[in-house]
Amino acid sequence: PQVKAFVTQDIPLYHNLEMKHLPGADPELVLLSHRYEELERIPLSDMTREEINQLVQELGFHRKETPDAPVPEEFQFAPAKPLPTLLPPQAPNADGKTPPKRDKEEHPDL
């Protein structure tokens, strides 16, 4: 009943959070990258409605006052947060020099 209340009453208030019903599946929060690649699954069955709300806000989802309220510009891409750089170690080029490392804040694919 706690998860159902969150789904029916709270999800419409969050920007970039959507519900997909899978019959027979336990409720879980699935976090996706901007390329829709799965990042993490968090089971929700044993959580209260308040705990789920706290979790999604801690993850950076913006909660609106009403479902159709405008989303401030700084939250348009929320909950996008910089992720740790997951690039493999750089191999030396043919000239034996290692290419420059990218800055952690630099996201050329965005």
User: Cβ(110)–Cβ(82) under 8 Å?
Assistant: no
Read off the pLDDT band of 24 (50, 70, 90).
very high
Separation between Cα atoms, residue 104 and residue 102, nearest integer Å: 6
- Is residue 89 a part of any domain in this protein? no
Q: What is the count of structural domains for the chain?
A: 1
Q: What is the CATH number of the domain that holds 45?
A: 3.40.30.50
pLDDT at 107: 47
User: Cβ(29)–Cβ(22) under 8 Å?
Assistant: no
User: Cβ(52)–Cβ(10) under 8 Å?
Assistant: yes
Cα–Cα separations (whole angstroms), residue 53 to 57, 71, 91: 6, 18, 44
Give the range of the structural domain holding residue 36, as residue numbers without chain letter.
Answer: 2-75
- Is residue 91 a part of any domain in this protein? no
Q: How far separated are the first and last CA of the chain, in Å rounded?
A: 39
- Is residue 82 a part of any domain in this protein? no
pLDDT at 89 over 90: no
Q: What is the pLDDT of residues 30-69, one digit of tens each?
A: 998 888 899 999 999 999 999 999 999 999 999 999 999 9
- Is residue 42 a part of any domain in this protein? yes
pLDDT at 35: 87
- Is residue 106 a part of any domain in this protein? no
